[in-house]
Amino acid sequence: MNKTHLMLTALGLVCALGSPLTVAGTPQEDQATFQNYFKQRFPHVPVDDFKNGAYALDPVGRENWEAIEEFPPYEAAIDNGKTLWATPFANGKTYADCFPDGPGIAGKFPRWDKERGMVVTLPLLVNECRVANGEKPYGYFLGPLAEINAYMAYESRGQVINVAIPADDPRALAAYEKGKEFYFARRGQFNFSCAHCHMGNSGSTLRTEILSPAFGHTTHFPVYRSKWGEIATLHRRYKGCNEQVRAKAFEGQSEEYRNLEFFMSYMDNGLELNGPGARK
C-alpha cells in the first residue's frame, strides 16, 4: 500500500485507486483529471458523446431514447417557454429587455458575478428579471421557469460549455471549491456522495439502471424525465438525488446548488449544450 493510498484510506474517502496519483490543485488540473478519468474508463465513448449521459454507454437504452426524441416530450415546454418569453409583463417590458442578446445565452452560464460575489445561473436571472419588472417569481424546480429555460436551452443548442473561474477574485475559486466539496462529500442516511454513483460506479448497474457518468451531467437541462412526466430544472434533479440518499434537499438556487452547478459545469467544459433533454 503506497503512501497516497494510505492517506486516502485514512481519510475514509470515496474510491480507492490502483495507480499512483498526485494531489490535484488547480481547477484546471481537476478538470483534466476528471475528464481523463471518464475517457479512460469509457475508452469506446467518443468525447462529444458524454453529453448523452447513460445513452452513451447503453445501446439498447439509446435506441429507445432516440425513438423518444423523434417526438420529443419536451417540445410543448419549448413552445410554452417561447410564448412566455414573448409575452410582455404588466409594465409592457419583456424578458428581452433583461436579456438583450436574446434567449440563446445558456452557454454563458453559470458564471461568477464579481459585483454580487456569487455564482449566477440562468434560471436565477430569469426570475430576477421578473421581480425587477414587478412580477412574481416562479418556483425554481418546475413549471413556467423550467419552460422558459427549456426554450432558452433550445435556442442555445450547440454552444460549448466554457465556464471560467476568474483569477482576479478569490471568492470565485472558493465557490468552486465549495461545489467540489459538495460533490465529493458523503451525505444522507445512505452516506453516498455524488461521486460514489456517478464516478466510481458510473456505467455499473443499480438494479437494472445504468449509472450515468458525471462527465456530461449539466449539458441537457432542463430535462423532461419520464419518471416526472414533466420538465424540470437541474436543481430539481439535485433535490431528487439528495432525497434519494435520504438527505435533506436544499432550496432551488441555494448557494449550495449554485456552487455545485458551478463545479459540475466547469468539469463539463468543452462539451456541447444539448438541452432540453429527455431522460427516463
Partner 1 sequence: MKFPSISRRRAPALILGALAITAVGVASEMPKIDLTSGDPAAGKAIAMDRSKGNCIACHLIIGGESPGAIGPALIAMQTRYLTKEALAIQIWDATVKTPEAAMPPFGRHAILSQQELADVVAYVWSL
CB closer to partner 1 out of 36 and 83: 36
Q: Which of 15, 98, 129, 241 does the annotation list as catalytic? A: 241
CB of 111 to partner 1, least distance (A): 22
Sheet holding 230-232, edge to edge: 230-232, 223-225, 277-279
Length of the chain: 280
Letters for 29-68 (x = contact with partner 1 by CB under 8 A, - = none) are xx--xx-xx--xx---------------------------
- 241 catalytic per annotation: yes
CB closer to partner 1 out of 119 and 211: 211
12 belongs to the binding site for partner 1 (CB under 8 A): yes
Query: Residue 131, exposed/middle/buried by CB under 10 A (0-12, 13-18, 19+)?
Result: exposed
238 belongs to the binding site for partner 1 (CB under 8 A): no
Show contacts with partner 1 in window 119-178 (CB under 8 A).
177
CB closer to partner 1 out of 4 and 254: 4
Show contacts with partner 1 in window 176-205 (CB under 8 A).
177, 180-181, 183-186, 189-192, 195-197, 199-201, 203-205
Backbone angles phi, psi at 112, to 5 degrees: -80, 125
CB of 220 to partner 1, least distance (A): 23
Show contacts with partner 1 in window 14-33 (CB under 8 A).
14-19, 21-25, 29-30, 33
Contact residues toward partner 1 (CB under 8 A) are 4, 7-19, 21-25, 29-30, 33-34, 36-37, 40-41, 177, 180-181, 183-186, 189-192, 195-197, 199-201, 203-208, 211
Residues labelled catalytic: 241
